[in-house]
Structures are given as C-alpha cells and as structure tokens.
Structure 1
Amino acid sequence: MGEIIERPSVSPILWNADTEVCLFYAMRGHKPVGINKHFHMMGIHSKFAQSLGQPVTSAQIWEHLSTMYNLAVLDESDALPFNNNVKHFQLPEDILNFGKDKTKKEQHEAAVKTPSTAKSSSNKDLQLQSKSTPPSAKSNRKRTRNVTSVSPAVGASGPGSSKRRR
C-alpha cells in the first residue's frame, strides 16, 4: 500500500566559522523573513546541504538562525509587496435577500416562462434577418474559382494557365 521511505540519519551540525560561512553563502539571494520565508528556506536548505556534504534539516537551520537573529521582529519589519489592511465587509441586504421574497412556485413559473419567450424572440429575429439579407449572403458555401480553358495558341505561359512563374 504505502512505501516507507527511510531518510538518512541527521546528525547534529557542528557550528563553527566554516559552516556559518557556508550558511551565509547559501543565504545569498535568499531572505528567510517575510511572507516568502519558507520558499527562501527551501533554497537555503538545498544550497547549504550541498555545500556541507551531509544531510541537514531546515529545522536545524531555523534553530541556528534564531540564535543569531530575532526572526519574529524581522518578520514584522519586512514590508509586504501588497496592501494587507483588514477591513470589515458585508454584502448589501438586497443581494443577501435576492430570491427569498419569491415563493418557490413563482420561481418555477418564471423559469418555465423565460425559455419560451426567448425562443420566440430569437425566431422573430431570424425571420427579420433572413428578409433583410440578400440571398448571396445567406449561403455559407465556399466560392470556387472559375477556371477557363487555355487555348493552345496562347501557350503555357499565357494568362489563365496553371503554371506560374515565381
């Protein structure tokens, strides 16, 4: 049914100057704060694990970054790329009560009457259109070119010949 995937054991990271430099290089171009912090962390995690050469979890990176920076304050100070003001909104009463005034019988009658009136008006429109348009416009057939026969005196290079020069 389901496949069990065994992940390699993750050992603790020995944080020294070299591993922190690797982390900073991995963070280049990625900012782990703000609205897209988790997407940026994916990039940081990938680059850092590759440069370190051992399995690393993003939780280990978050934990170390939280010892270096106050991530909560950085999240709040990061400007959003859009306006995120919360406003109270409520639909107008006429929209909320739309259709509640009519009874189900009236709604059914209205639904039954609507298609028949639309059909009769569309038939009238078609009749008026067919009377006003000329017969050539009614035809949807393709026009074909009338090909005249070539007289032998004119030759193959004359007008109306099937061979054309380019």
Structure 2
Amino acid sequence: MAQPETAADVKWTPELEVALFHSMHGLKPVGLNKNFHMVCIQHKLQQSAGLFLTTRQIWQHLRTLYDLESLENLEMFPFPNEETDFNLPAHMVDDIRVYLKEAEGVEEEVGGTKKSRCLQSSSLSPASSPITGRSGSKRRKN
C-alpha cells in the first residue's frame, strides 16, 4: 500500500475525492465525535482507495474544501457546553487547609537528619478526611 510522506505528496484526484466522500457517508467530521468519525473515515478511505493517508492529511484536505470552524460552531451539543471557572466552595477549601496544616507533621531530629512525621491523631485518619467527607469508621444507616 502506498504511503505519502506529507499532505503535499498527496495528489487529490477526482477519484480519491469521490472515495473520501463515500468514506464520509454517515460520519460527520464536526461535532462531539469528530475524532472518532475521522478514524472511521480514514479506515474506509484506506479500504476503498488502497492508499494510506494520515488523519492529519485528511483534515488538511477537508479544510480546503469546507470551513470546518464555522461548521463546528453550527453543531449542537446534546448538553450545555459553557466554559466556566471551577472553584471549590469556601468551606471545603478551609477544611482542606486545616487538614493539610495538621498533616504537615512535626520536624524531629533522628541521627543528625531532620525527618518529618505525620501526627498520630485520629483526626488524620483516612476515614475522617475532609476531602471524602466521612467522619469515623462507622457506616451510616439509611
């Protein structure tokens, strides 16, 4: 099977473009699943044309044929897709700071070197971590 080195090495003949369009049948190169669809397009094109093209080469050619950015903007997502900054609630940040401050441990001299050890406190057990929100080893009854 022939393998062009770069996109410039690909000669997009009318026959190869028809094979590309047949490969794209039912697979949109835009939207949420565009990368999965592109792998399928690549596989179908390889099977039909007998020519291995990378997905990058196919993307480059599709960009010459279509305004993919505009098509992407027209595509509707099945869920809200607004970017927002994520912030932990203030009470969780405070709990984590207290937990980390307690967990820093105490510096002690052992054989001339300083070693840090965690406090042996029941408040620092994994079962009472402020991150997990569990307190103690007792299970809650529903």
TM-score, with length taken from structure 1: 0.52
Query: Alignment RMSD, CA only?
Result: 3.2
Larger Rg: 1
Higher relative contact order (CA 8 A, sep 6+): 2
Counterpart of 1:22? 19
* Larger displacement relative to structure 2 (31-40 or 83-92): 83-92
The structure whose residues are more often strand, as a share, is 2
When residues 88 and 59 of structure 1 are mapped into structure 2, their CA distance, relative to the original with a 3 A threshold, is: closer
The one of 54, 60, 63 aligned to 1:63: 60
The one of 22, 29, 32 aligned to 2:29: 32
- 1:85 positional shift: 1.8
Q: How many residues were matched structurally?
A: 106
When residues 110 and 43 of structure 1 are mapped into structure 2, their CA distance, relative to the original with a 3 A threshold, is: closer
The one of 67, 79, 83 aligned to 1:82: 79
Q: Distance in 2 between matches of 1:17 and 1:76?
A: 29
- 1:54 positional shift: 2.0
Q: Distance in 2 between matches of 1:81 and 1:109?
A: 46
AA aligned to 2:41 is I
- Structure 1 portions without partners, runs of 5+: 1-6, 113-117, 119-166
* Larger displacement relative to structure 2 (89-98 or 52-61): 89-98
TM-score, with length taken from structure 2: 0.59
Q: Distance in 2 between matches of 1:47 and 1:38?
A: 14
- Structure 2 portions without partners, runs of 5+: 103-119, 126-135, 137-142
Q: Distance in 2 between matches of 1:27 and 1:110?
A: 59
Q: Distance in 2 between matches of 1:61 and 1:110?
A: 58
Question: Share of identical aligned residues, percent?
Answer: 37
